[in-house]
Structure 1
């Protein structure tokens, strides 16, 4: 190791980065900056819980189902409570909608300006097998007056109304990736210092991708256009990569170039992924990174939610790949 190696900068700490960018939000008065710090803090705690889950007997099923009828994992419940506690104590949030909650979690003592939509722990089926999992979040400004009861209009906002969105990925390293509408930046957690440091500046996804990510086990229940796209990827020797954790698949494809697809199927005619706390956040991020996100026909960020747990088909990633998939869906009668 040389002196030059020792003097290499480790990167800008998340707190400093947020503070330097605060001038981009004259309306925020510091609350949005503090909210992002609260999310980062909860992420550190969840990362620690995950890293020692096999030793603390917090792997496996919790013994109940969430509102979607899916088996909750112990870490699902723990992550949900960690984020709710951090956001409650921070005081910037008036209500939270979560994949793990049936209804709106209104924070009675909060005078906060913001609504959070969150999937506290995406990729539950991979928890016990030590595969990368993550947290996805969206931030909206409330529409009702501060001090009033939170309404459905506050929480059922279109994705284009987000003021911030991001995800944490818990893998070989822990990363926080977020946007506030001024590009996408990624921060890697340095556990010995207990800090997130800027490691990926102004992320841009390639216009054309290397990978396609889809659960091909459901191939025979795909629409004709989706089948045609998958077949075309194989013919063009595009590599198949599918982890089964949305955050992990999305993270790789955004960095390397690719498309993630969760289409409608016979068992999930409206798609499986949730608009409010999965699709909207990632759509905001990919558009900021130069990519595209649709339900196969409509831009994700323009879809008006009608229910908290609304599902949609999801096509997201490199722009040319998403456009090609859409074109095959439009002409699918011709490819049957």
Structure 2
């Protein structure tokens, strides 16, 4: 029998899925259940079903992204471009009735999304960046969904409260992101390693590929982020600029979204940088993921992202620097050196 491969032309953002392993390959829900059985985080298994619901809803988002429109009709594609708000509504409609979460914090919404009192309220809080994409990209852009899950702090079976958003980043139960492009790939962790799954376009299931934990490549000369960061008059911007200037082989890349940048960084190494990123919806889940892959994630000034705690400002933003430990610390060192020199000049 001929071996059929589904391969993205935009490797490594895409993945390979061989028909030889389609019957024996591990699908996403099975992998989550096995992980949960070895290290349960609750007695109900709500987290297993919640992750399954999130993954299933990304199938629909993937289809809309592929069509490039929110209004797909038979035989033609509508003209309304898919937006983060549209993706947020899709996720909300699914999670509002599954009974496993009590609150959703969406990056695109000023206020947290609560559920009607008559529906079940579960034990988890979900933080999402529903559709991170470059608005200037029009021809099949790379975009992604980032999600993070915490245990609620308020009483169970009741609507979520603001106290449920006052979380320490290291208290995440699970986190992941999905990259939509020529192929759709899901990355997730429950604190026991990072794994990736490729969405089969016919079976509409996420299959584990490769069948092992992912780790960041040790060495690299790449920095992922907008080039405008090097012109920023901040320690982080100066650190990146000096790192790029002092290493002739260093190149900067940007896919248009944080999820896409992390997906590129995993097999290639390097560092990811983004100033003023959303802590709960972007930085915390990606920091959890990158640390599970053997990297580090800081605010660019030596503070570990997972050590940060959210107070009253649940839309808190921080600088984000993550990737190979050696590169991250070198950028921090160069940034601190510039800051110290600038301070001395002003005295």
Normalising by the smaller structure, the TM-score range is: 0.7 to 0.9
- Measured against aligned partners, the alpha-carbon deviations of 1:227-249 in whole angstroms (never above 9, x if no partner) come to 34333334421222122211111
On the 8 A contact 1:126/1:132 being kept in 2, the answer is no
- Measured against aligned partners, the alpha-carbon deviations of 1:86-118 in whole angstroms (never above 9, x if no partner) come to 112221011101012221111232220000000
Greater shift after overlay, 180-189 or 1-10? 1-10
**Is 1:199 paired with 2:213?**
no
Match of 1:71 in 2: none
- Measured against aligned partners, the alpha-carbon deviations of 1:24-81 in whole angstroms (never above 9, x if no partner) come to 2152422111011101111000001111125533544xxxxxxxxxxxxx42222111
**Is 1:304 paired with 2:309?**
yes
On the 8 A contact 2:239/2:333 being kept in 1, the answer is no
**Is 1:143 paired with 2:153?**
yes
Aligned positions, number = 315
**Is 1:276 paired with 2:280?**
yes
**Is 1:331 paired with 2:341?**
no
Task: Please list every run of 5 or more consecutive structure 2 residues that lacks an aligned counterpart in the other structure.
Answer: 6-17, 70-75, 343-347
Q: TM-score, normalised by structure 1?
A: 0.87
**Is 1:258 paired with 2:273?**
no
On the 8 A contact 1:103/1:308 being kept in 2, the answer is no
State the alpha-carbon separation in 1 of the partners of residues 232 and 146 from structure 2. Answer: 28
On the 8 A contact 2:28/2:205 being kept in 1, the answer is yes
On the 8 A contact 1:163/1:181 being kept in 2, the answer is yes
Runs of 4+ in structure 1 over 4 Å off: 1-7
**Is 1:120 paired with 2:130?**
yes
**Is 1:187 paired with 2:193?**
no
State the alpha-carbon separation in 2 of the partners of residues 183 and 226 from structure 1. Answer: 31
Match of 2:26 in 1: 12
C-alpha RMSD over aligned residues: 2.2
On the 8 A contact 1:274/1:310 being kept in 2, the answer is yes
Q: Choose the corresponding residue for 2:67, options 43, 48, 52.
A: 52
Residues 158 and 4 of structure 1: CA distance in aligned 2, closer, same or farther (over 3 Å): closer
Task: Please list every run of 5 or more consecutive structure 1 residues that lacks an aligned counterpart in the other structure.
Answer: 61-73, 264-270
State the alpha-carbon separation in 1 of the partners of residues 103 and 262 from structure 2. Answer: 27
Match of 2:326 in 1: 320
Match of 2:178 in 1: 168
On the 8 A contact 2:243/2:334 being kept in 1, the answer is no
Q: TM-score, normalised by structure 2?
A: 0.84
On the 8 A contact 2:300/2:332 being kept in 1, the answer is yes
On the 8 A contact 2:132/2:258 being kept in 1, the answer is yes
On the 8 A contact 1:19/1:33 being kept in 2, the answer is yes
- Measured against aligned partners, the alpha-carbon deviations of 1:264-303 in whole angstroms (never above 9, x if no partner) come to xxxxxxx2x1111011000000011110111112111111
